[in-house]
Chains A and B, each alone.
Chain A
Amino acid sequence: MTKAILINYEYCTGCHSCEVACKKELDLPKGEFGIKVEEVGPFQFTTRPGLEGTWEWTYMPVITQACDLCADRTAEGKMPMCVQHCQAWCMYYGEAEDLVKKMDGKTRWSLITVKE
């Protein structure tokens, strides 16, 4: 049984809510993060067939070693801070084997686990 976070990163808007929710929960100082949103783009594809002129602008949250998936909160039945506050509604918390069933090829998914 492995707990995980599933991200529908097609819809991550880079709003920083997960980053701040986590920083405050873990009381991390300036420059340190438990989860950090990385950015790709924006750029326009020029040669890739079917994508010419299409914008790529993708955000992807990256989880650091500081993350314990909010063990204290989840033990009480609460959601991890990042998942609870994700404004784009693109993060899920649960058992990895359950979450993987959501990965249906209709959007861009990423399943993240941490060291226990």
Chain B
Amino acid sequence: MDYQEFLDSIDRKAYHEGEWRWQEGDLTVTRTNHWSPPGCHNGCGVLLSVDKDGKLVHIEGDPLAPFNGGKLCMRCLDMVEAVNHPDRLKYPLKRAGERGENKWERITWDEAYDIIVEKVNWIKETHGSHTIIFDHGTGRNIGWQLPLFASTALETPNVCNFGFTGFACYLPRMIGASAKMGEMTIIDVSETHEMRYAADTFRRPDVIMVWGNEPLKANADGFLGHWIVECMQMGSKIISIDPRLTWLGSRAEYFLQVRPGTDAALGIAMLNTIINEDLVDHDFIDKWGYGYEQLVESVQGKDADWAAEICGLDADDIRGAARLYATAESASIQWGLAFEQQLSALGVTAAACDLMGVTGNIDNPGGNLLIKCAFDIEKRYGLGDFKIPREEYAGKMTLSAGIESSDIVACAATDPLLHAVETGDPFQPQMLWIESANPLACSGMDAPRMYEAMNKIPFIVVADPFMTPTAVAHADIVLPVAMSCERNAVRTWWTPARSISKCTSYYEAKSDEQIILDLGKRLKPENWPWKDDKELSTWYLCDQYAEGGTRYEGDFEELQARGGYKYDPWDAEYYKYEKGMCRPDGQPGFDTATGRFEFWSWGYNHWGVDPMPYHIEPKDSPVSTPEKFKEYPFIATSGGRSCEFFHSEHRQLETMREFHPYPLVTIHPEAAAEYGIEDGDWVWIESTHGRCRQKAFLFPGIKKDTIHMEHAWWYPEEEAAEPSLFGVFDSNINNMTLNFETGQGGIGSGIKSFLARIYKYEPGDQMPGEKVTREGGWGDYIVGVMAGDAESAAQAAEGNAKLMKQLEDAKRVQAMKVEDADMQGRNALIYAKEHGEAAE
């Protein structure tokens, strides 16, 4: 792959360089970016063609957009089908029958807004705005818009991913990295440079350690996975750490097929090898490190042999991978979601950061970069939360935080909100707003429990482009949301800053921006001064209540006219910590409490989390519960991504289902043979908590004692009304996952490793939808008890010290919670250093 040759080969006239909108015959073509709906984590440059009737008829990638170079994944290439899909919601709807009956009455937007405004104002007066729960998911362009709406229109601090225990998506890696190095980190594959691979200062990584994700399919966290393949063509070597063989793993120097949930032990052992074989970067450690001696001490005795036993690996492979990573001139760690879907979430995050630190692979070409969202536009989550009245902010549920003087994270915690719904303690939630989320299908752990709980919430609004199982089961009002090509919006996720231009519209669907503007002006006009979506977008780019503002200069129209993107030179700079670019005081160093890269982290210590990398054995495993393992002889992991789908989206699209018609449970062929299971058979996967049905996919790249299930499946082609709910429970792995089970600091969940058994489905077997909606589910939890399953609840009742302490801590933290919504990030860490006690 010769990038310069590619640039030179493009016929720039044919692709209308310098224009953002033009005519090609009867078609109007717009150069813009796609970002949701449908969702993903990226925002690729696209060329959208709309016919004279205003219908989207063609999409292609924009070869002049450096972010994706014209490349698109199959989901974006199927955009015309998605946008014009007959199942899309065309009008606002009001529930006409009982919840779950799928009976609706078409209403106008004004009627919908009147109902919502009346209800919200009544709740504010009678119960307080904190009794409104706001639920949003990931991957749609709503990360700043919806918190702004929740904070400054609904005025609730209880914004979260409802049902998603332990903040188990990216957030642990973000806060862990921020605590240890003052910024977030991503691997350098040239994505910060407008000239990309041809940039003078860029050098491709010698080694990329791909750990706990399948980037070619996931494309997570603003990172296009195939950038790695481009670097491989330029010589990058791969280390793959994954319970499953992936395409990258099949080409790796080392494929470490780790037991799910034990990654932290592997990370600690690699540190042990690198430190004890003196492969570290002494210069970086001496000049920039803090607490290295404690790290050296903490990894002693935890060598490759120790980890090999825990992780199910060959000790020589662990040593070999560690040496390859440490001795490369530049090496990077592409980390992923598996980090936080294990109880050691912050422990494995610390281990990975320390691997970067001890080898000096920080902010170097081809290493791990210190990164901000372009022009510092997106500073923190929870935009506008300082405007929430203080007495309402005090009702923010943050049970999971192990911190007393500030919240570990900006969003509320789901577990205490679920507890509140179940018990009315400390208040009864009155309303749930769900936008860009589908908790029954995807993010709600213990989906049957979430189903029961949501039925206790008196008023529920769902906003989405499609009727979802969650909407059918629970919504009182459904609002039709516009898709990407139907909205004016801006976004940043790293760099560049990008705009999204409206090209068309679909019946009465409105964009997320338009909905929050309309309702914001009705609910709290003084907080919503913006004329329209473009003005709101400009404010986001340049202002955001800022003293100092962002570093962006320009406005929405200017960004659009530039072709929709602008790179931030700050992100493209290397060794920023040497140049005084990271700290607010302009001094060299990291933006941490000590100004250094913290091997021993003040932030971790302040949160009550072990400041050194730690490993916690999964709660449910061959090691923790060997007796149970005899009856449930598979380690069940889940959530590996597919090219065809983004979480629970895209299941309506015939083209995607042509490639991927059913959910697949991956089983080793020899294990399947033992159970008489053949490729394509419907199979039950069952834990002590519940069961679901997926189709057997026999695959030699998984260990014989491990199975992998797909997540977020529902069947838009099936009956919408209960008991089916589009079959949402039938293949749902969240029939088996648990709420209230978290790692240290309330961070991380155990959902990627639990024990299960498998057996063939027989015609006539009861389907889970009926079990859940008609018979109350499998009953393996106790309503109102803050424990995931009956066994944990029993242990708590018997005085299990650890669980009791967790509950006490939670209550204590709740009582002492911060009153200042801005008291986060750096300020919290400085406070930590001033007031904390080092647990040495």
Interface residues of A (CB under 8 A from B): 8, 11, 13-17, 19-21, 23-24, 30-31, 41-44, 55-57, 76-79, 81, 84-90, 107
Contacts and interface: CB of A to CB of B under 8 A. Distances in A.
B60 interface: yes
B482 interface: no
A31 B60 contact: no
Contacts of A78: 11, 14-15
A16 B640 CA distance: 17
Given A16-B659, A55-B701, A90-B229, 16 more contacts: A13-B216, A13-B226, A16-B644, A17-B71, A20-B78, A20-B655, A42-B245, A43-B700, A55-B249, A78-B11, A84-B71, A85-B70, A87-B229, A89-B229, A89-B233, A90-B1
Interface centre among B6, B58, B60, B255 (most CB of A within 10 A): B60
Given A21-B77, A89-B1, A79 B63 contact: yes
B60 A17 contact: no
Given A17-B73, A42-B245, A87-B73, A76 B643 contact: no
Contacts of B699: 42
Interface residues of B, number: 43
A13 B73 CA distance: 12
Contacts of B226: 13, 15, 87-89
Contact of A15 (B1, B59, B63, B643): B643
Interface string B644-679: 100000000011001100000000000000000000
B229 A11 contact: yes
A23 B13 contact: no
Interface of B: 1, 6, 11, 13-15, 58-61, 63, 69-74, 77-78, 80, 216-217, 224, 226, 229-230, 232-233, 245, 247, 249-251, 255, 643-644, 654-655, 658-659, 699-701
Contacts of A87: 71-73, 216, 224, 226, 229
A31 B13 CA distance: 36
B659 A42 contact: no
A57 B250 contact: yes
A79 B78 CA distance: 19
Given A55-B245, A84-B61, A19 B74 contact: yes
Nearest to B68: A87
A42 B700 contact: yes
A21 to B, nearest CB: 5
Nearest to B657: A30
A11 B72 CA distance: 16
A13 B247 contact: yes
Contacts of B13: 77
Contacts of A15: 73-74, 216-217, 226, 643
Interface centre among A20, A23, A43 (most CB of B within 10 A): A20
Contacts of B229: 11, 13, 87-90
B77 to A, nearest CB: 4
A21 B247 contact: no
Contacts of B73: 15, 17, 87
A31 B643 contact: no
A24 B216 contact: no
Nearest to B216: A13
Nearest to A23: B655
14 contacts: A11-B229, A24-B77, A24-B80, A55-B249, A55-B701, A76-B14, A78-B11, A84-B61, A86-B71, A87-B224, A87-B226, A89-B226, A89-B230, A90-B233
A76 B14 CA distance: 6
A20 B74 contact: yes
